[in-house]
Structure 1
């Protein structure tokens, strides 16, 4: 299995299983049924002053095909994926990078970079595997926030 971060930039563009999509800015692929992920999507929508981010739920056909390209699945705890300039990032690394790019309260994630990678991975996996039990389920599309709706990709 190839790690998402070791794939060539924009490799999904030549994958016939991945439909064409607008990728000129950062795109987060996240669980649209997770309360915590929906909260993160709202923060991105609120603090993305340059209006550069797009958000795609992993439950959509586009989300599923992009995850499959990177050997991830919806049920995989590492399914939080960030594409920036065609490069893929997953897990806590993706969240930290997204926080830096979006600004605002996203900068609060930056101190996590000093943690050793193994500890970052351990923390992220504990949270990701238990996200439904800890925070519950929701439907990101049911959120009436117009800023968030404008960023959603299908």
Structure 2
């Protein structure tokens, strides 16, 4: 298994029903098994936000490559979703055609969906605890 610190991390809204179902879907199709997860309100996410002040007040998924390293890179909103699709590979790569849509329009659509995500998918009172077989892939659980 690769160095834990080099494995990517997806920051997500831990109380969002759609976000949690998306994480479960990613887990089901993640052939490499190296993507890790952390809720946006976790200590890990707070440390990422401290290193990237532009993320302050951001309510979006964040894909973190090489976390806590000098070459750490982040992607937010639609770029983060595209990073997840690229990471998953296989048939998900077909959806990467969305890169042809200008980033501003992709992010506008992402923000419109994010604004109604609780109405569409519900909201948990707390971040659900992952099952024991994948718990090690969740940071700050």
Q: TM-score, normalised by structure 2?
A: 0.79
List gaps (5 residues or longer) in structure 2: 67-71
Q: CA deviation at 1:132?
A: 1.2
Q: How many residues align?
A: 130
Q: In 1, Cα distance between the equivalents of 2:91 and 2:23? A: 13
Moved segments of 4+, more than 2 Å: 103-109, 138-147
Q: CA deviation at 1:140?
A: 4.3
List gaps (5 residues or longer) in structure 1: 1-21
User: Which of the residues 92, 115, 121 maps onto 1:135?
Assistant: 121
Q: In 2, Cα distance between the equivalents of 1:61 and 1:152? A: 12
Q: Secondary structure at the match of 1:146?
A: coil
Cα 1:64–1:105 change in 2 (3 A) is farther
Q: TM-score, normalised by structure 1?
A: 0.73
Q: In 1, Cα distance between the equivalents of 2:50 and 2:94? A: 31
Q: In 1, Cα distance between the equivalents of 2:78 and 2:16? A: 16
RMSD: 2.1
Residues 76-128 of structure 1: CA distance to partner in whole angstroms, max 9, x if unpaired? 33x31111232111111111111111235633531211111221011011111
